[in-house]
Structure 1
């Protein structure tokens, strides 16, 4: 016994599989029962009318009508891939010309819960319930909701294929339609949320607006906190005249590699340089007041006349750095945090480290001649092999500090004067 797949005229959804019995009349009766209509005619997908049961083959696809002529099915999903290569191209099979616009509306309402929207040349097919349920007061809902006098809002014009024309961006409309389908806002990373927000406001999707505003705010905040990279700094150096002051005050440069760059005279006050790699960089006469330089790698850097008041250099590597200016300017590191820092072999002659924290710091073989360490916390600090000649250590905390192999005996410093 053969079977066929039946669809309502002009649609390709909600198909029914029906057994072919003894006569065409019995098949029409079965179709009437399946679809709740009075089926009178059968057509092939190409519009040929079936008038003899012998013409039907197993698994044929047929279209049932009550009495009207065959209406071709338009496959909207294939429009974007048709021969002209554009989603705005029209399909080759139009709705019959004898249907007026009102008749088209009536036919679509009667024959299908599915509607097709032509948004900016791209076709979207969805159900009426999708447009009506989630946002009943939106423009899309009112276009397809009906009251006693007809549609609550007159639907837009239809193109030659029966799709409702909406002159908006399809890129930003697609996330809105998906939101109406499943209640979740999902869009590709290459889609600008500000464009989706504009469409949501246009269509009146009020529940979507706060979500998009939050996303836009978070994106803007994330852009603000993204650290600048080496290329950004180099571009700024190239574009700034040598005589002009370059300011990176409060800028986030965390984790950047600024090794061997000439960064002299730059204002890094309050900047975040956490974890930066600045090996061999020249930071002479820079302002680094209250900057975050924790765990920075400054090995072999030039730091002549640098201003580091209350800067955070906890865990930093300053091995082999040079702070001494032959011209006599002194680096000011008063109140700096150098807890656990490595300054081994650095030339720190004349540096002001008043009330600085150097707990557990490595100051082996450092040149600290005439350095000011008054009130500094040197607990458990390793000063082995360092030169403290004329250094000021008044009030310094030297608990458990190591002074082996010092070039200048401790009593010759200003500790006891």
Structure 2
């Protein structure tokens, strides 16, 4: 696998190392995402325009432009045409959506303004370096800038209180992220990684949680009414060791779900489909399981003290529980 180092045209700082794969268009898409610009052209260190991905070698240093001519990072803002002496006396720049025509004497000044604009855009198109929560607007921008085949890594990010409702969040890595008090109603979290994430007080009503990974996550006090954990392909949702104290999961589809050694104390699971679920060692104290389907569920070693088993859809056999 080849890898290259990408810089914004005219700079030699804040480079990004990326893998080279697919077509030249794929590499330009990755460059746009990594550098925060709309990548149009690639140049090598000598100012040569690269028009075929086969011309790129391992460990090449490439410069990415938005359609402007190559700028040597050591030439004080001059373009490749300026350096060769073949450039005309007039230069047209597009800065902030406005066209400026100027002589070459003022080119350096305007080019510095142009570079400042690019750097300002890059700074404002990446997650904040502090721990302040990301807004819906900022996160949607990241989603739109990420190719559909690329995994979006949000590990450890702070989304506390954000409105992420009805968004397509499939396959995103939210491991150890702060999603407390988030609005995730009707969001598509299919196969996302929420391991050790903080979902306390979050609203996930109607969310698609097929094949989700929520090992040791904290969803205390969250609302998960009408959620779908059941993947038709057979991939089982994994909530092993999760803290689900006081959650409201009424009416959720949880066939085959793994809730081993999870804590569901005082939780509401009325009318849930828990057929074939793994509830071994689970704390179900004072849990409302009325109207549930627990056929073939594994309740061995679970704590069912004070649990409500009224109006069960299927009989609960003694072999399913030893306490």
- Structure 1 length normalisation: TM-score? 0.46
Task: Look up the match of 1:373.
Answer: 279
Query: Please, which of 336, 344, 347 is the counterpart of residue 250 of structure 2?
Result: 344
Task: Look up the match of 1:190.
Answer: none
Query: Please, which of 303, 308, 313 is the counterpart of residue 397 of structure 1?
Result: 303
SS of equivalent residue, structure 1 residue 410: coil
Spell out structure 1 runs of 4+ moving beyond 3 A: none
Kindly state the Cα deviation for residue 267 of structure 1 after the two structures are TM-superposed: 0.1
Q: Does 1:275 align with 2:181?
A: yes
Task: Look up the match of 1:319.
Answer: 225
Query: Please, which of 241, 245, 257 is the counterpart of residue 335 of structure 1?
Result: 241
Question: Gapped runs of 5+ residues in structure 2?
Answer: 1-127
Query: Please, which of 164, 168, 172 is the counterpart of residue 262 of structure 1?
Result: 168
Kindly state the Cα deviation for residue 411 of structure 1 after the two structures are TM-superposed: 1.0
Query: Please, which of 207, 210, 213 is the counterpart of residue 304 of structure 1?
Result: 210
Contact kept? 1:388, 1:413, Cα under 8 Å: no
What CA RMSD, in Å, does the superposition of the two structures yield over aligned residues?
1.5
Distance 1:348 1:405 in 2: 18
User: Which one is further off, 407-416 or 387-396?
Assistant: 407-416
Task: Look up the match of 2:288.
Answer: 382
Task: Look up the match of 1:186.
Answer: none
Kindly state the Cα deviation for residue 226 of structure 1 after the two structures are TM-superposed: 1.0
Which structure 2 residues correspond to residues 178-257 of structure 1 after superposition, within 5 A?
224-257=130-163
Distance 2:217 2:187 in 1: 18
SS of equivalent residue, structure 2 residue 317: helix
Contact kept? 1:279, 1:298, Cα under 8 Å: yes
Task: Look up the match of 2:270.
Answer: 364
Deviations 1:93-129 (A, max 9, x none): xxxxxxxxxxxxxxxxxxxxxxxxxxxxxxxxxxxxx
Deviations 1:369-409 (A, max 9, x none): 00000000000000000000000000000000000001011
Kindly state the Cα deviation for residue 232 of structure 1 after the two structures are TM-superposed: 1.2
SS of equivalent residue, structure 1 residue 408: coil
Kindly state the Cα deviation for residue 223 of structure 1 after the two structures are TM-superposed: 6.3
Task: Look up the match of 2:199.
Answer: 293
Distance 2:281 2:214 in 1: 17
Question: Per the alignment, do residues 412 and 397 of structure 1 end up closer, same or farther by CA in structure 2, a change over 3 Å counting?
Answer: closer
SS of equivalent residue, structure 2 residue 321: helix
Which structure 2 residues correspond to residues 138-157 of structure 1 after superposition, within 5 A?
none
- Structure 2 length normalisation: TM-score? 0.59
Which has the larger Rg? 1
SS of equivalent residue, structure 1 residue 224: coil
